[in-house]
Amino acid sequence: MNMWKTVIIIIIVLAIIVGIAVFTNKEVKAPTIETMNNDLKLTSSAFKHEGEIPSKYTCDGENINPPFEISGIPENTQSLALIIDDPDATGGGTFDHWIIWNINSEAEEITEGKVPEGTLQGTNNFGNTEYGGPCPPEGNEPHRYMFKLYALDTELNLEEGASKSNLEDVMGGHILAQTTLMGRYGR
């Protein structure tokens, strides 16, 4: 009998939450796998979260990808995807710098200047399928660069050269966890 009381209380609480949301015209989002898993981490030995990206990894330097360390990959992960973009782009939109997917689910790092073996690359806003480092206009405030890592429950059936929006569409419903490393760069 106590189990039924618990179920009824849970239903009443959910009804109250939905009622408040409807009354206040606020959207209620059910918990997702992404919000439940906070163990996935992306770090770099080249810069700290919210720190300055060394020029070596930009258009002013060698223009190679920085090294990354990956930890906390959830069980059942079949592949990883990484998107690097600049939400502060001067055109008013987000500028895509590197789009890669089908990274091995057991990868613990992405080596400096290298594309992980077996990984596919998408077309960035430079118009090519390779890493394009930060390159904000001179005189701008430093831009933020988002290094977004996704743990997926499948390998993606997406051809090389696809756009970021294509990748995001195909990833929909397959994200087990995600994390973001943010770096800054100005010229």
Q: Rounded to whole angstroms, what are the CA distances from 115 to 48, 73, 97, 129?
A: 21, 19, 14, 11
The CATH number covering residue 109 comes to 3.90.280.10
Q: Answer yes or no: do 65 and 8 share one domain.
A: no
Instruction: Indicate if 15 and 89 belong to the same structural domain.
Output: no
Domain match, 39 and 18 both? no
Considering the domain architecture, whether residues 47 and 83 belong to the same structural domain is answered as yes
Q: Is 54 in the same domain as 114? A: yes
- Judged by average pLDDT, the poorest of 34-38, 117-121, 135-139 is 34-38
The tokens 């300055």 sit on which residue?
52
Q: Whole-angstrom Cα distance, residue 148 to residue 179?
A: 6
Q: How confident is the model at residue 12 (pLDDT cuts 50, 70, 90)?
A: confident
Domain shared by 160 and 113, yes or no = yes
Pick from 15-29, 87-101, 116-130, 150-164: least confident: 15-29
Q: Which residue has the tokens 């690097």?
A: 84
Q: What pLDDT is attached to residue 109?
A: 97
Q: What is the pTM of this model?
A: 0.80
- 28 vs 182, residue with greater confidence: 182
Q: For the chain, what is the domain count? A: 2
Q: Which of 43, 49, 83, 51 is nearest to 67 (CA)?
A: 43
Percent of the chain with pLDDT over 90: 78
